[in-house]
Amino acid sequence: MPKPAQTAVAIPEPDENPIAQLHFTDLDDGGGAQISGFAITSFVAAFFVPVVAVVFGHLAIRQTRSGRFSGRRMAVAGVILGWFGIIWVGLLIAAIALGLMVVTAGGKIIIG
C-alpha cells in the first residue's frame, strides 16, 4: 500500500504589532471607500444625543447607498442605539412623572 503524499502548509509569521496595521476601512463594508462623516457622527451621538444619532444615521444610510461612501453598518448601529436611547429617555421621563404624581397625591396612585 503506497504512503499518501505529505503536503507542507506555510504558516505566516505574526507581525510585531498587527493592530498598527489595522485601518478603519478594514472594519467596514465599503471596500476602501471613505467612511461617511454622517455615519461617524450618528454612532458617536448615539451615546449622548439619541435624536441626532437617528437623524444623522438615516442621512448616512442614504449617503452610503451610492457606493461612494462606506460606513453603512456604523450608521445602522447609530440608528438602533439612537432609538434605544430615545425609548430609554421616554421611559425615564414617564417614571419621573408617575413618581411625581404619587408624591403629590400623598402616596395614593391617582391617575386622571
C-alpha to C-alpha distance for 70 and 96, rounded to whole angstroms:
41
Q: What is the pLDDT of residues 3-33, one digit of tens each?
A: 766 776 766 666 666 555 555 544 445 456 7
Reported as a single tens digit per residue, the pLDDT across 65-95 is 988 899 999 999 999 999 999 999 999 999 9
Question: What are the tens digits of pLDDT across the range 34-43?
Answer: 999 999 999 9
- Global confidence as pTM: 0.65
SS3 of 69, please? strand
112 has a pLDDT exceeding 70: no
The rounded mean pLDDT for the chain is 82
**51, pLDDT greater than 90:** yes
Give Cα separations from 94 to 7, 28, 50, 53, 64 (angstroms): 67, 38, 17, 22, 36
Query: Contact at 8 Å (CB) between 35 and 25?
Result: yes
Q: How far apart are CA 39 and CA 33, in angstroms?
A: 13
At residue 99, the pLDDT reads 87
For the cut 50, the answer to whether the pLDDT of residue 57 exceeds it is: yes
DSSP 8-state assignment for residue 13: P
User: What integer pLDDT is reported at residue 20 of this predicted model?
Assistant: 58
- What's the CA gap between 61 and 28, in Å, rounded? 13
State the DSSP code for 70: E
Give the HSE-up count for residue 76: Cα atoms under 13 Å, Cβ half-sphere. 8
